[in-house]
Structure 1
Amino acid sequence: MPKSKNNQLKKSLGLSFGIAILIGGTIGVGILRTPGVIASMLDNYWLIIICWLLGGLYILIGANSYAELATMLPKAGGSYNYIKRAFGDYAGFLSGWFDYIANAVPPAFYCIVISEYIVILFPDLESQSTVIAISFLAAFTLLHVSGVKNGSFIQQLTSIIKVLFFVALIVACFIHSGLKFYPIEKDTSFFEMGIVFGFFKSLQLIIGTYDGWYAVCFFAEEDENPSKNIPKSLYTGAIIVIVIYVLINIAFFQVLPVSALANSPLVASDVAKVVFGNKGSIIVTIIAIFSLISILNAYMMIPARILFGLSRDRFFIQHGSRINKGGTPIVALLISSLFSLFLISIGSFEILFSFGTFMTVIVWGLAYCSLIKLRTKEPNLPRPYLSWGYPWTSILMILATLTLLTGFAYSDTKNFVIIIIITIISYPTYLIIDRRNKKK
């Protein structure tokens, strides 16, 4: 189906935005919380650090695959474009809606969590927490209605502030405690089933904390030079995130031992109280708020791009591909914001959020499969960037993703069943939409 210029997004974004959206869309409150849960499952300093490094390796190899896909098909909406090209319209329809749901739920969650952290700083506002959450949603909706440039500027600014806050926290931890080198423990208990299970469960949590590493791919159509900027954004942003995540874990365990942080609901707060005294928890709360504002801005932009792409390919209403003067997919943005408003109002998005992770990993797996399929199906398709280590790196990512899905299905059977039901329902829904499109 030919695409006219009036439903093409403007090319107004560059390398700095690409790096900022990856950092902003990845680093959130998760890194301030997950170290405590992981410490309770592993209770071994080096095992924990290895887990974070393995998670980092996973996203680096993933960035390698996505760099080829996004530069080969630089279109709004990211993953579903590659899957649709490789496996047909139904696969694109299913993966596109999976990706949309997974990315449309977080804005409501982030607005509510920001309001909760603001109430911690200002307890008198406790009765206004829902109003605060809706106010943040409204403010960021208006920001993005005003144009892509404004959203890009805020993303870059908040990402820089976020990185500076985390670097300051890491440096403060090292200054307080010095640098201690832990001996590698000779412990054969790793091979016991309990530790092995904890190791893989920790990897799942860590990869969830790294989620967002491919955010720049949603904006490939708006990049001024996607062939050069997308690979640079993916690798630069991923390396920055990996370094921050590994160093912050090392820094935390310099201040307090693994056993002391096990099961802590907010590890960063416990560490900050030791380093900064009673004001430590306030400092961590401020860091958390800035982290959340940055990630909220990113996730206000991402779902609209997916819905825009789905609309343009006639998998949603035609008006969903409308763009305003500022370059924003305006109808897609407003529909996504209304969905977030609905979730904030009823406060019942936890189920959607949990199986959203399921959906994301399924989409990743299909994207890696599409790289192999397109290499075979369309070998002459222009590829400004070639994935290194092909096909072995792609096969490795597919196997790793299958392992993750198996782990999710085992540990969260309820959401696994929901995913299967949604998949079954999706096919007749697709056939109805396809029949309607053919009549038009």
Structure 2
Amino acid sequence: MRRIKRCVNKRLVRDLVRKSGPALGGDLVYSVKTSSGLLRVLGTAFALAVGLGNMVGSGIFRSPGNVIAQTGSVRLAVLLIVAVGAQSLLSANLWAEVSTAIGLSGGSVVVARRAFGDTAAMVIGWTDALSCIAGTAQAAAGAPIFLAIVWPIIAPDPRLSAAILLIVFSLINWRGVVAGERTQMTASLVQAALVIGIIVLLFVVAPTAAPVAALVPAKAPIWTAGGLIIGYQLVYGTYVGWNNAAYFAEETADPGRTVPRALGWSVIAFGALYVGMLLGLGHALPLAKLSGAAFPAQLALGSALGTTGIRILSAVAFATLVVCMNSGIMPGTRVLFALGKASYAPRFLTSVNAGGTPDLALLAFAGVAVLLVLTGRYETIFMLMGTLALAVTAAMDLAFFQLRRREPELNRPYRAIGYPFLPALALFMDLAILLMIALSDVRSTCLGLLIAGAGGIVALMLSSARRGRERERAAVS
């Protein structure tokens, strides 16, 4: 009798938690399993960490020199960072509403399917998956290069080491979503602390350059319209990943509060780190050395601390890329899971293990990423990442308006602020920068359209085959 009573009580508790959400507090939320087999266990700290961890990659160290080369001024570069951050916040306002309204893990796949139907959802979903895989492979491939600088005696084979890193972190996530959550939160905290440490070193240890106001080339214009556009594109590329929290809506406790907060604060936190890095570099290096430098922070710390400074920065770069890699594995796995659930990919991708991890989707994601790393084929796809990510964001903007028009009564735990003016501004800005990128990089645009076209053809074929099977089952019954 006691065992029966305990089982009944557990069942009642689970039902109560499902209805009441995380307001009950404590660890009761950890017992909730969704209809997909996923566990609703993730909190605000993880949602913030998975977005910030993806943004703080090597771009925060590599891009400042190129951005300064295009703007000719540290101040203008800082304004671009603020402008891109504002654009990302406008887009986050829309992502927060559509992802929490649908309430399923998978990000763009589940939203696009609800708003546009199967064909568009499959094209957007596979585009998103390709972008996640390429970004993860690029982070994994870059990490061993910096590790070899830290410990030259090791000198590992970069491709083999990158594959090992991918396998190790995939195994950690295989254990369960809680293990992945703890790993991501710890790693992102260490990552942010290390980047802040580098910024402090730039101000304290590195030699002082000319005042920021004087950091303008003597014979070059301060800026040009074309330079600002290219600089804006470069900065936008470093912000890729801010929307990661939206890919876990089904696994997040109280997504109506958690997802919007995580999206907004991850953008703000990264923007603050990026501005700090740029100002630190402007303090440590004269503009002539900073402009166009491939790795300006290494140049600054190398001048001040010699080999020790280079090794310190390389260690930080290695850590940030490893965290960035893990931040790509988790949302990318959810995209494949959602593709399988919608029958846009093999159904076995919907398998979820006891720990709440989509295990076979994780295996497929890691397998493709390892293959790209070992063959070196990720670079071409990685060049498209900024364009692909922006195309997906623009699609989510359109999905927002489509759902508002077609399903006004849809339950929306979070409603976008400033409707319709701020959402319309977000759509305009995303489409404008997408058009600028398309016109400035015709080769990547054509390749992206080719990938989307191929995905559309496959989507139509699969959709036709699925309808045929449904008609056959209906005829038999």
Which interval holds the TM-score relative to the shorter structure? over 0.9
Match of 1:73 among 102, 117, 120: 102
Code of the residue aligned with 1:123 in structure 2: it is P
Q: How does 1:30-179 map to 2 (within 5 A)?
A: 30-126=59-155, 128-176=157-205
Deviation at 1:282, TM superposition (A): 0.7
Q: What amino acid maps onto 2:157 in structure 1?
A: Q
Scaled by the length of structure 1, what TM-score is found? 0.93
Report 1:125-274 matches (<5 A). 125-126=154-155, 128-176=157-205, 182-183=212-213, 195-274=224-303
- The 8 Å contact of residues 39 and 259 in structure 1, kept in 2 or not, is answered as no
Query: Contact 2:208 / 2:285 at 8 angstroms: preserved in 1?
Result: no
- Give the whole-Å Cα distance in 2 for the aligned partners of 1:205 and 1:404: 11
Kindly provide the amino acid, as one letter, of the partner of residue 143 in structure 1: I
| Structure-2 change in CA distance of 1:281 and 1:178 (3 Å) | closer
The 8 Å contact of residues 43 and 259 in structure 1, kept in 2 or not, is answered as no
Q: Identity of counterpart residues, as a percentage?
A: 26
For 1:169-205, what per-residue CA distance to the aligned partner results, in whole angstroms no more than 9, with x for missing partners?
Answer: 2223333468986449999x9999x711010101101
1:336 equivalent in alignment to 2:365 = yes
- Quick check: 1:172–1:275 contact (8 Å CA) kept in 2? no
Greater shift, 155-164 or 175-184, is seen at: 175-184
In the TM superposition, 1:307-326 aligns within 5 A as 307-326=336-355
Q: In 1, Cα distance between the equivalents of 2:442 and 2:178?
A: 43
CA distance in 2, matches of 1:422, 1:40: 32
SS in 1 for 2:224: helix
Give CA deviations for 1:66-107 in whole Å, capped at 9, x if unaligned. 111122122111123222212222111111111111111122
Relative to structure 1, the CA distance from residue 120 to residue 178 in structure 2 (aligned partners, 3 Å threshold; closer, same or farther) is: closer
Q: Take 2:378 and 2:243, find their aligned partners in 1: how far apart are those partners? A: 23
The residue identity in structure 1 corresponding to 2:400 is L
CA distance in 1, matches of 2:112, 2:287: 42
Distance 1:199 1:50, change over 3 A: same
Amino acid at match of 2:74: Y
* CA RMSD in angstroms, aligned pairs only: 2.3
The code of the aligned residue for 2:162 comes to: A
My pick for the range that moved more, 212-221 or 129-138, is: 129-138
**Preserved CA contact (<8 Å) 1:19 1:216:** yes
**1:34-55 CA deviation, whole Å, 9 max, x = no partner?**
0011111222121111111111
Unaligned segments of structure 1, at least 5 residues: none
Residue 398 of structure 1, aligned match among 424, 427, 430: 427
Deviation at 1:127, TM superposition (A): 5.5
Alpha-carbon distance, 1:277 to partner = 4.0
Counterpart code for 1:54: A
Structure 2 unaligned residues grouped into runs of 5+? 1-32, 471-477
Instruction: Indicate how the Cα distance of structure 1 residues 175 and 136 shifts in structure 2: closer, same or farther if over 3 A, else same.
Output: same
Does 1:27 find its partner at 2:72? no
Query: 2:150, 2:312 within 8 Å by CA — same for their partners in 1?
Result: no
Count of paired positions: 435
8 Å CA contact 2:127–2:452 kept in 1: the answer is no
The equivalent of 1:295 in structure 2 is 324
What TM-score do the two structures reach when normalised by structure 2? 0.86
Residue identity matched to 1:378 = E
